[in-house]
Structure 1
Amino acid sequence: MNKTKQKKTRIAIAGAMGRMGITLIKEIQKNKNTILSAALVLKNNPFITKDIGEIIGIGRVGVLISDTLDEKQHDFDVLIDFTKSSSTLKYLKQCSMLKKNIVIGTTGFSQEEKSIIQSYSKKIAIVMSSNFSIGINLLLQLVQKTTETIGDKSDIEIIEYHHRNKLDAPSGTALSIGEAIAKVMNWDLKKQSIYSREKNKKIREQNKIGFSTIRAGDIIGKHTVMYASDGEQINITHIASNRHAFSKGAIQAAIWLHQKKIGLFNMEHVLSF
């Protein structure tokens, strides 16, 4: 029996003229399983009603830049959002009303905002991740295994590097790494974390996770997890040299999410770890 051929996933992009939005659009155009359905920007953008492909330099694609998520104008299956928390919540509400699924790559949500996202997952399907790179998700697996083995014998430090324009600190990915470690160690991450040492004049405490944040230049993303003990240390590092790793992962998540009805998922679900 021949398997039914899956329809292409129609994707809307929020923040279409941002660095991540442009990378996502270019990746969608190359992927044989996806179609770009909408390119969304903020109101009063001077390029509204222009062809997004012409504006970002890939030639006409037949999708006009818009400031409105309208099902009549933009028929889509999944929205991918890498904007900011306030915009994401606005798009999330609209997707819920339209019964459309959403991939969320925005970070920096408060606990209250995370609860709102959780509530919407009872109505639509959501993939939410602090990092869509396959490499970072493999790093999380390595971190869990390493923590199981030597977590109680090591001083654990998470060092993250990003470009000068990144607002949230520590990064969402660094916090996800910390959460993975805390879960293995059965720690409360808020109580076990060290974010600043300028007023801490005592020696390093055990059973703590130290966070260091670097913002400089145009660094795409680098995360190192250090396990240090007397006489040796283990460093697990992931470096993103461009945004393609994130866009490929987000598009893979959108294709996977296309067939889902409701629920809150992450990249471990998508990659079947």
Structure 2
Amino acid sequence: MADIGVAIAGASGRMGRMLIEAALGAEGITLAAAFDRPGTAFIGRDAGEMAGVVTGVVIVDDARAAIAAADCVIDFTRPEGTLEHLALARELGKAMVIGTTGFDAGGKAEIARAAESVPVVFAPNMAVGVNAVFKLLEVAARILSEGYDIEVIEAHHRFKVDAPSGTALRMGEVLAHELGRDLDTCAIYGREGYTGERKAETIGFATIRGGDVVGDHTALFAGIGERIEITHKSGSRMPYALGSLRAARFLQGRGSGLFDMQDVLGLR
């Protein structure tokens, strides 16, 4: 089977650089293009420069040309930019892996519409370990469905712009689904002042921002006399990059459809 040519969006950003590094060493993957916003300092420079590698692929500011040169776009940018790239991928008939978080309901609906025409993997976290945690939470929620208060705690670096993180929200969605609850009505995103006693049916979220924390997520089940914690800690962005490339390989040969990492990993 031929290699999959990938185009990396946001190529000069922290995640973009990690994706490029991962793509250069991945089996079955070719770095076909790298692009970023006009005016970005690294436009016109080799995509592997920051990793000390000469790739022959130059970072460009022409998203259309970059996407046209690839089989699959990998995007971890911002919702507004990702949706623009998605529209181009749909027009050009290209697959897309979306790791961007912070979409509103309209943005998620737009992704679903695009997936009717092209194949898309859309997941709040591409790391294989995190997706294993999602599966573990399904089991834990069924076992600990009575007598345990559930809280989701997440920590990220000071530059993250959305809260709670997409991964934390997905953890909440998994837990709520298994417990037969609606996260929109049972989630508590902040506590301050006189809050009264905790309601048993709620799922709480706590957010920490600081330093260079890549990403820590914990689901806490607090019972009487015991606590169970299921935690994932990221030491670097490489797990997200490697999972994204796995998703790109999963999409090869598919005509359309909306998938997530549970599909990629065969965990349905």
Question: TM-score with structure 2 length normalisation?
Answer: 0.97
The residue aligned with 2:226 is 232
The answer as to 2:11 corresponding to 1:16 is: yes
**Residue 251 (str. 1) matches residue 216 (str. 2):** no
Contact 1:160 1:170 in 2 (8 A): yes
Q: 1:195–1:210: 8 Å Cα contact kept in structure 2? A: yes
Question: How many angstroms apart in 2 are the aligned matches of 1:17 and 1:72?
Answer: 14
Question: Does residue 41 of structure 1 match 2:15?
Answer: no
Matched residues in 1 for 2:33 and 2:68: separation?
6
Residues 28-60 of structure 1: CA deviation (Å, up to 9, x unaligned): 111121100111110122432222223x13222
CA distance in 2, matches of 1:86, 1:71: 19
Q: Is the 8 A contact 1:151 1:227 kept in 2?
A: no
What is the 5 A alignment of 1:71-110?
Answer: 71=65, 75-110=69-104
Q: What is the rounded CA distance, in whole Å, between the counterparts of 1:22 and 1:112 in structure 2? A: 29
Contact 2:147 2:224 in 1 (8 A): no
SS in structure 2 at match of 1:52:
coil
Matching residue within 134, 157, 162 for 2:156: 162
Equivalent positions of 1:1-273 (< 5 A) are: 6-54=1-49, 56-71=50-65, 75-273=69-267
Whole-angstrom distance in 1 between the partners of 2:145 and 2:67: 53
> What one-letter code is carried by the residue in structure 2 that aligns with 1:53?
G
Q: 1:70 deviation in Å?
A: 3.3
Runs in 1 of length 4+ with deviation above 4 angstroms? 71-74
User: How many Å separate the matches in 1 of 2:40 and 2:154?
Assistant: 33
Alpha-carbon distance in 2 for matches of 1:155, 1:82: 33
Identity %: 39
SS at match of 2:48: helix
Contact 1:53 1:59 in 2 (8 A): yes
Q: How many angstroms apart in 1 are the aligned matches of 2:228 and 2:266?
A: 27
CA separation in 2, counterparts of 1:172 and 1:235? 19
How many angstroms does 1:196 deviate by? 1.1
Q: Deviation digits for residues 188-237 of structure 1, max 9, x if unmatched? A: 10110111110452011111101000001000000010101111110000
**Counterpart-to-counterpart distance in 2, 1:107 and 1:210:** 20
Structure 1 unaligned regions, length at least 5: 1-5
- For residues 71-96 of structure 1, the C-alpha deviation after alignment (integer angstroms, 9 at most, x for no partner) is 48852100000000000000000000
Look up the equivalent residue of 1:250 and give its one-letter code. Answer: S
Q: TM-score, normalised by structure 1?
A: 0.95
What one-letter code is carried by the residue in structure 2 that aligns with 1:23? M
For the 8 Å contact 1:118–1:264, the answer to whether it is kept is: yes
